[in-house]
A and B are shown apart, each in its own frame.
Chain A
Amino acid sequence: MEIRQRIAVLVTTAFVAIAAIGGYATIMSRTNAGRVKGVTETVVPSALASADLVAQLKDVQLSTMNLVSAPDANLVAQIKEKLEADKHKLEAALAQQKQQADTDTQRGLVKQAEEGLHDYFAAVDETTQFKVSGQNEIAEANLFGTVAQYQTVLQQVIDTLRIEKTRSKDATIATLNSSLSATVTTLTAATVLSIVLLAAIGYFLYRQIVRPIGRMQAEMSEIATSQDFARRVPVERRDEIGRSIEAFNAMIAKIEENSAQLRQKTTDIQAILQNIPQGILTVVDGHRVHTEFSAHLPSILETSEIAGRNVMELVFGASTLGSDACSQVEATIASCIGEDAMNFDFNAHLLVGEVEFKLADNRTKILELNWSPIIDEHNTVVRLMLCLRDVTELRKLALEAGEQKRELEMIGEILAVSQEKFHEFIVGSLTFLDECQITLLRHADHDPEAVDLLFRNMHTIKGNARTYGLHHLTNIVHEAEQTYESLRQPRPDIAWDQDSLQAELHAVRRAVEHYARINEDSLGRRGPGRRGGTERYLLVDKVEILDTLHRLETVNTGNLHELVAARDAVRKTLRLLGTESLGSILSSVFDSLPGLATELGKAAPSVLVQDNGYVIRNQASGLLKNVFMHLIRNAMDHGLEAPGARLEAGKPEQGSINLSVGVHDGQLDITIADDGRGLALGRIRQIAEARGLIEADDVLDDESLAHLIFHPGFSTAEQVTSISGRGVGMDAVKGFVEREGGSIALRFTDDQPGAEFRHFVTLVRLPESYAVSIDADAHRAPRDNLHPLAPVA
């Protein structure tokens, strides 16, 4: 049954009970009031009145007796009046009794009493008559006879009536009392019963309502505090409370579902944050890092102290980002958080995307930064999300890829140039650079001529590089050229700084050597071309061809001599096509000697070239230029002494350098010698020991010692004073020569083994095919211009 129904029942029952009890009480009290009224107003007076009857009868009797015994007539008359009065009283009283008789018994008695009274009065009247008439004795006799008889009877009846009335009265009173007490009892019982009933109903209702509600409230509080949304309040009834509980349970089920979903989402996000191989953090107001960040972040930043820190200090504090850029980032972050999303669009470009991050042990990482705004429903930026990615490896790979791309481009550029031309370019450029180096080192201060040379050489290299389309070279060469150009100005705005100029020059050299290396290693192209090329191809000067043709055209065909001469001349020309004399090949080198001498503080040497009837093919020009520039400069630098020393040694101030060309054993031999102090074997030994090339107690003969100068990195100079002093000279020269299928060797010309200085010549040998004899017939016999000395190397 529904609670409301039960409440209705309770209320109705209460109402009914109260109404019933009240009604009953009212009725009963009115009834009883009536009854009491009846008793007090009727029954009791009547009963009392009936007792009066006896007294009144006695009065009548007494009056009668008095009458009878009255001596005189006045008295008799008086007493007769009183007697009449008493009679009336008695009669009235009896009449009243008649009126008040309420039972048959009483009515019967009253009737009897009336009859008796009638008889008695008759007797009394008779007696009175007798007395009045003077018949006293008859009156007396009547009195004690009839009257007394009737009086006795009447008295008995009246008595009986009185008793009856009294009994009736008592009975009535008893009835009334019992009725009253019955009422009280009933009311009490009814009240008690009602109380009990209502209490019972109330109690049951209480149990049904309050206890479940109390339990419900207790359970709800517990669920709320324990957050255990899997619990339900038990439903035990189908009434309103039951339905409320069901509704509550449904709500809890919903909450449980939602919080399960939320937990799932949080777990998913947590899983992502824990596993994503990216550093993710969010920045909140005040540049602070939020407590939730991805698990990978500490390994990127290599610290666990992240939450709550200032993002500027955490990410950029250890970075190489400049202070102005940092302040821009800081201002940008401040301008975005808590502001409209528009502000992020305005300023996002100032949020750096990459930063170099320094770690404790001097390692660096490159971190890629990705910024996104987290926006709420009001389009306000609530936080900034920052994703960090370690791209160090990526950048390295990109760099390598970039380098490989550059290499490929360079290969493309090199392949577009013929092997020979490229080789010549390299050799020529290196030569120019060597020259620049020497010039640079010999001038600690600004010198116009030196600058001029630097500029010219660099300009030439640049021009050549451009011609051959070697783009990865032209830039760096151009920059160096521009440096020299600005130094050439009457008032240059940069200073002559040997170190930085040196560094710049070195950079250009490195670039050229890079090309050379690619050419040789990656492309396998060594030297000016295939060895066979020297036999098959010639570099031909157009002018010579034209001259030859002209000769043929103008010859007088009728003249045999002329024809033969022309033929010989043409043959010679053809043979000599694409050749040059050594002197001609090395002319540029010879031209630079005076300047070099001045720098070295020595006299310009005289150079003598003995061609011995040979010219050399153009293919070897580049090589020879490069090789002999080194060798001649070495001679100038190390071999030839200062004028003073020379004079002391009894030599002319001017030193001399001799070159000689010959062909032996299928080889083109070019010898170079100078009249200087000779090879400084002692010094060579010292240096070799210092460089760890030999041990202090190693025993070497002079030839082996001399050979050490071909070792890479070997240098006999105290400081880097020349290209030769830099220690790359001889091994490079050896390399150049050997690449062409040749060899280089030192040969002692004196007979003093173990001396500090020994005279020597340097012998450069190349395949015979490079040599062409000017006069074809003149060289059939073996040449013996040169001592066939045993080679050193």
Chain B
Amino acid sequence: MAQVLVVDDSSTVRNEVCDFLKANGLTVTPAHDGKDGLDKLRADSAIKLIVSDVNMPNMDGLTMVEKIRGELKNSNVNIIMLTTENSPAMKERGKAAGVKGWIVKPFNGAAVISTFKKLVA
């Protein structure tokens, strides 16, 4: 039962984010691509926040979000995307899919931790 689902195909990024969140008292579950993320979300109803990369193999982040809102009919979980670049098309897609925020890499824990804690409350 975890509060945060961290989805990124890079183990470096995944570990960095997970370690930081754990050090700040949050419980996390990692996933390595969109499909894995969906499975983990289905299996755990306590997840309140998803932090996900955009570019991943198998299933990319935005597709995963669309499936979460669509097939899983989950409109409660807060979703924040990790990205290296941002285009208007990406923003539109994100907005339509109900993405709450965008974090540009590199991940800076100090800037986001207070908002994250609010989002899992």
Contacts and interface: CB of A to CB of B under 8 A. Distances in A.
Contacts of B112: 345-346
A285 to B, nearest CB: 8
Contacts of A330: 85
22 contacts: A328-B84, A331-B86, A331-B104, A332-B104, A334-B86, A334-B91, A335-B83, A335-B86, A335-B91, A335-B103, A335-B104, A339-B102, A342-B100, A343-B103, A346-B101, A346-B102, A346-B108, A347-B102, A347-B103, A347-B104, A349-B111, A350-B104
A465 B97 CA distance: 65
B52 to A, nearest CB: 14
Contacts of B87: 334
Interface in B59-104: 80, 83-88, 91, 100-104
Nearest to B83: A331
Given A346-B112, A347-B111, A348-B111, A331 B85 contact: yes
B103 A346 contact: yes
Interface in B95-121: 100-106, 108, 111-112, 115
A340 B84 contact: no
Contacts of A350: 104, 106, 108
* Top 5 A-B residue pairs of the complex, sorted by shortest distance between their CB atoms: A334-B86, A335-B102, A331-B85, A331-B104, A331-B86
A327 B111 contact: no
Nearest to A340: B101
A305 B30 CA distance: 49
Given A331-B86, A346-B111, A348-B111, A339 B101 contact: yes
A344 to B, nearest CB: 10
A343 B101 contact: yes
Contacts of A327: 84-85
A342 B115 contact: yes
Contacts of B104: 328, 331-332, 335, 346-347, 350
A591 to B, nearest CB: 55
Interface in A297-336: 327-328, 330-332, 334-335
Contact of B88 (A286, A328, A349): A286
Contacts of A583: none
A340 B88 contact: no
A342 B101 contact: yes
Interface residues of A, number: 20
Contacts of B105: 328
Please indicate which of the listed interface residues A330, A335, A339 has the most CB atoms of chain B within 10 Å of its own CB. Answer: A335
B14 to A, nearest CB: 18
B98 to A, nearest CB: 12
A350 B91 CA distance: 19
Nearest to A333: B86
Given A285-B88, A350-B104, 4 more contacts: A346-B101, A346-B111, A346-B115, A348-B111
B100 A338 contact: no
A78 B92 CA distance: 133
Contacts of B101: 339-340, 342-343, 346
Interface in A324-383: 327-328, 330-332, 334-335, 338-340, 342-343, 345-350
Nearest to B90: A334
Interface in A192-227: none
A535 B25 CA distance: 74
A150 B88 CA distance: 136
A350 B82 CA distance: 14
A242 B106 CA distance: 70
B contact face: mostly helix, strand, loop, or mixed:
mixed
Could you say which of B80, B87, B103 has the most chain A C-beta atoms within 10 Å of its C-beta?
A: B103
A339 B85 CA distance: 15
A285 B87 CA distance: 11
A328 B105 CA distance: 8
A346 to B, nearest CB: 5
Looking at B80, B88, B101, which has the most chain A CB atoms within 10 Å of its CB?
A: B101
Given A334-B91, A339-B102, A340-B100, A345 B115 contact: yes
A338 B91 contact: yes
Contacts of B86: 331, 334-335
B108 A349 contact: yes
Nearest to B84: A331
Nearest to B105: A328
A340 B95 CA distance: 11
B68 to A, nearest CB: 19
B115 A334 contact: no
Interface in A259-293: 285-286
B103 to A, nearest CB: 5
Contacts of A328: 84, 104-105
Contacts of A343: 101-103
A338 B87 CA distance: 12
A345 B88 contact: no
A421 to B, nearest CB: 48
Interface in A656-714: none
Contacts of A348: 111
B17 to A, nearest CB: 13
B57 to A, nearest CB: 21
Contacts of A339: 91, 101-102
A468 to B, nearest CB: 41
A340 B119 CA distance: 14
B56 to A, nearest CB: 17
A349 B105 CA distance: 11
A334 to B, nearest CB: 4
B119 to A, nearest CB: 9
A348 B83 CA distance: 14
Nearest to B112: A346
A783 B84 CA distance: 87
B88 A334 contact: yes
Nearest to B80: A346
A335 B87 CA distance: 8
Nearest to B82: A346
B50 to A, nearest CB: 15
A383 to B, nearest CB: 15
A382 to B, nearest CB: 15
Contacts of A338: 91
A22 B103 CA distance: 89
B35 to A, nearest CB: 25
B82 to A, nearest CB: 10
Nearest to B103: A346
A349 B111 CA distance: 8
A321 to B, nearest CB: 15
A311 B117 CA distance: 34
A346 B107 CA distance: 9
Contacts of B83: 331, 335
A597 B96 CA distance: 82
Contacts of B106: 350
A340 B98 CA distance: 12
Contacts of B80: 346
A334 B102 CA distance: 9
A155 B74 CA distance: 129
A778 to B, nearest CB: 81
A332 B104 CA distance: 6
Contacts of A332: 104
A104 to B, nearest CB: 113
Contacts of B91: 334-335, 338-339
Nearest to A332: B104
A314 B34 CA distance: 38
A505 B2 CA distance: 58
Contacts of B102: 335, 339, 343, 346-347
A372 to B, nearest CB: 16
Contacts of A286: 88
A285 B86 CA distance: 12
B70 to A, nearest CB: 22
A346 B80 CA distance: 10
